Structure 1
C-alpha cells in the first residue's frame, strides 16, 4: 500500500479510527463502526483520554458536522451543498470512513451518468446466453450499500441528468430497489444511507426536483470564515499531500501560504482585507482547494528546479494559472490587482515581479 498515490480515508487514518473505537463506549446506530460522538471527534479532531491526538479533517463550524452525522443516523439522506472547493467531497469521504469503515461505494456524477450507475446493469454476454438471471446482474455501489447496510456516496449530484436523479426517489423513500426483470427487489438493511454532494457554480447544473430534495437534509458547507482558518486548512492539506507525493522541498513558510490565501480572499470578495481598496473579481471560484494546488505546484518547482525553499518565483505561474481562466477578462483583472494592491503592499515586491514575468 506504500506505493498507492492516495489511500482511502479508512486506510490512511486507520490508526485514528482504531483508537477512537477503543475508547468509544457510547451508543452506536445500527451497523455503525463508531458512535456519533466518535464520528464528530474524528472529523473535528481532539485529544482522547488515552492521550492520543486525533487530527482534524474539517476546520470550520462543528455544528455543521453534528447535523450531518445526526442526519445519517436517521432515514434522511444527506446533501452536502456549497461552492466548489468547500471540502464537500472530503467531508463525504471521511463521514463514510468513520461511520462504516468503507468510503469506496461511490457513484461519480457526470452528464453521461445513466440509471445503471445508480440502480444496476447487465452483463450482456451472459444475458444473451442465459437470459435475465442473478448471475448476469451487474450490481451498482448503491445496490451493494443497500444489501450490506452501508453508506453510498454520490459525487456531483447536480451534474447527473434530471431523469436519472429521480431514480433515487424510490430508493430514498421506500428503501427498496426493484429489479422487475427478475421479479425481485433489494431491500435496504439497517445502516444504509446516502451522502450526495452538489454545487451551484458548475456548468451543466441540473436542478434537483422538489420530490428528490424532500428526501435529503441539506447541509451547506461555507467558505472558511477567516483568513487564519483558511491558512490553517491549506497548511494542513499541503503538509499531507507533500508527504504523499514525496516532494523534495521544505515545508512552506506560513507567510507564503498567507500571501496566496490573502490574494484569493481579496479577489473573491472584491475588496482588500482592510476594506480600503476595491478590486475586480475574476470568473473563477478561487477556492481553498485551488490555493492548496498553487502551494503544492510551487513546492514542486522549488524542490526540482530551486533550492528547496518556496519563494515567490515558484508560486507565480501556478497563482497566475489559477486566477486567469478567461485569457482576456481575467488577465485584465489580475494585472490591475498586481498594480494597485500587490505592488504597493510592503514586502510583496518579489511576488509582484515574479507574477509580471510570467504574464
Structure 2
C-alpha cells in the first residue's frame, strides 16, 4: 500500500503533522534520554508546551495549561508507573496522550479505543482463527494487541476512555502494569516488556455509561487531572489556535474578524459552565452538558464553514447560534429552560450583544 500524500490527509497523526518540530528537537536535544525514548523528558515537555530552540526553531504549543502537570505526566512515563489522564470531557486528554506518545515513541498509533464492547483481546491478544484451526495455537496464529506490541517494542500504548471498558476487561491490565509481563498460556510462554514500554490511559467520570476503576487498577496508575482552562483569555487562545489548525486541514477559506465571535462563544460556555456571569453578579443554572473547550472549537469551526460557504466570509452571530444551541440543549426540556433564562437575563441585557440575542432567539424558536 502506497503512503498517502500528507497534505491529503484529513487528520494526520501528531508525529506526521509535527514531524519537523520533532526532528528539530531530536537534533538539538543533548539531555539524557530514558531507554527507547526518542527525546529527553525536557524536550518532550518543550514539544507539548512550546518554546524556541537554540537553533531558532520555534516549537508551537500543543497544550496550554500548568507546566508542572505536564512535567509530572512526563516524569511518570519515565518510571515504571503508568499514566492516567483524568478530567471532564473536552480537557484535551486524548490530545495530550497522542502528543506524549508521538514525542516519546515516535508513534501514537498503538491505540485501544475503549467502548462498552471492548473485549479482553483488545488489551491482551487474539487469534487468527483460520490459522488457529489449521495449525493450532502457534505464534503465527496469534494476533497481538496494541498493548502487546508496545511491550515487545518498548513503546507507549494508549488506552482511550478506560472507564468505558467493562470492569472485567479493564482488569486485564493489572498483571501487565504490575509485573510488566503478559502470560500466553496457550503457547506456554510469556511476553516481557522491553524498557521504554508504558501505558497512557484517559478517563472521565462525568459522562453516563462509565465503569469505575477497581482500586487494584487505580494503584497501577499515577493520575494527573487535566483542568479546564483557568481564564477566559487562555481558553480564547486555545480555541483560536485550534480553529486555525482545523481550518487549514479542512481547507476552509480564512475567516477574518473571527475574534469577537470566538470570545462570545467562550464567554457563554464559561458562564453556563460555572453557574455565574463573568462579573459574578448573576447566578445561573448550568445545563446538563459539559460545554467543553472542544465543543467551543466545534461551534466556531462549523460557524466558519457557514460563513465561508453561505455568507460573505465574515463570522457573525448567526453563524454560531445554531452550534451553541446544539451544545447547550443536551436535554431538550431541562436545558431549554436554562438556555431561555440565560438569554433573557444575561444576553438580552448585555451591551453590544443584540445581534447575538436575535440570532439565538431565531434558532431557538
Do the structures match in fold with TM over 0.5? yes
Tell me, yes or no, if structure 1 residue 244 matches structure 2 residue 244: no
Match of 2:182 among 174, 177, 185: 177
What's the counterpart of residue 270 of structure 1? Answer: 275
> 1:252 offset after TM fit, Å?
4.9
What's the counterpart of residue 99 of structure 2? Answer: 94
Give 1:196-275 correspondences, 5 Å limit. 196-275=201-280
Q: Determine the C-alpha separation between the residues in 2 that align with 1:208 and 1:251.
A: 46
What secondary structure, in the 3-state scheme, does the structure 2 residue paired with 1:186 have?
A: strand
Tell me, yes or no, if structure 1 residue 343 matches structure 2 residue 338: no
1:159 and 1:205 in contact (8 A); partners too: yes
Runs of 4+ in 1 over 4 A off after TM superposition: none
What's the counterpart of residue 118 of structure 1? Answer: 123
Match of 2:328 among 311, 323, 326: 323
What secondary structure, in the 3-state scheme, does the structure 2 residue paired with 1:79 have?
A: strand
Cα 1:303–1:115 change in 2 (3 A) is same
Q: CA RMSD in A?
A: 0.8
What secondary structure, in the 3-state scheme, does the structure 1 residue paired with 2:7 have?
A: coil
Q: Which TM-score applies when normalising by structure 2?
A: 0.97
Deviation digits for residues 122-150 of structure 1, max 9, x if unmatched?
A: 11111111111111111110010000000
Cα 1:198–1:311 change in 2 (3 A) is same
Deviation digits for residues 187-224 of structure 1, max 9, x if unmatched?
A: 10000000000001121111111111111000000111
What's the counterpart of residue 146 of structure 2? Answer: 141
Give 1:9-88 correspondences, 5 Å limit. 9-88=14-93
Q: Determine the C-alpha separation between the residues in 2 that align with 1:191 and 1:358.
A: 52
> 1:292 offset after TM fit, Å?
0.2
Deviation digits for residues 76-111 of structure 1, max 9, x if unmatched?
A: 000000100000000000000001111000000001
1:45 and 1:53 in contact (8 A); partners too: yes
Cα 1:252–1:131 change in 2 (3 A) is farther
1:249 and 1:310 in contact (8 A); partners too: no
1:282 and 1:324 in contact (8 A); partners too: yes
Q: Which TM-score applies when normalising by structure 1?
A: 0.99
Give 1:146-157 correspondences, 5 Å limit. 146-157=151-162
Deviation digits for residues 41-64 of structure 1, max 9, x if unmatched?
A: 000000111111100001010000
Q: Determine the C-alpha separation between the residues in 1 that align with 2:305 and 2:257.
A: 11
> 1:251 offset after TM fit, Å?
4.5
What's the counterpart of residue 3 of structure 2? Answer: none
Tell me, yes or no, if structure 1 residue 194 matches structure 2 residue 199: yes
Deviation digits for residues 253-292 of structure 1, max 9, x if unmatched?
A: 2221110000000001111010111111110000000000
1:239 and 1:251 in contact (8 A); partners too: no
Q: Determine the C-alpha separation between the residues in 2 that align with 1:336 and 1:249.
A: 35
> 1:248 offset after TM fit, Å?
2.2
Q: Determine the C-alpha separation between the residues in 2 that align with 1:254 and 1:94.
A: 27
1:252 and 1:299 in contact (8 A); partners too: no
Q: Determine the C-alpha separation between the residues in 1 that align with 2:285 and 2:232.
A: 19
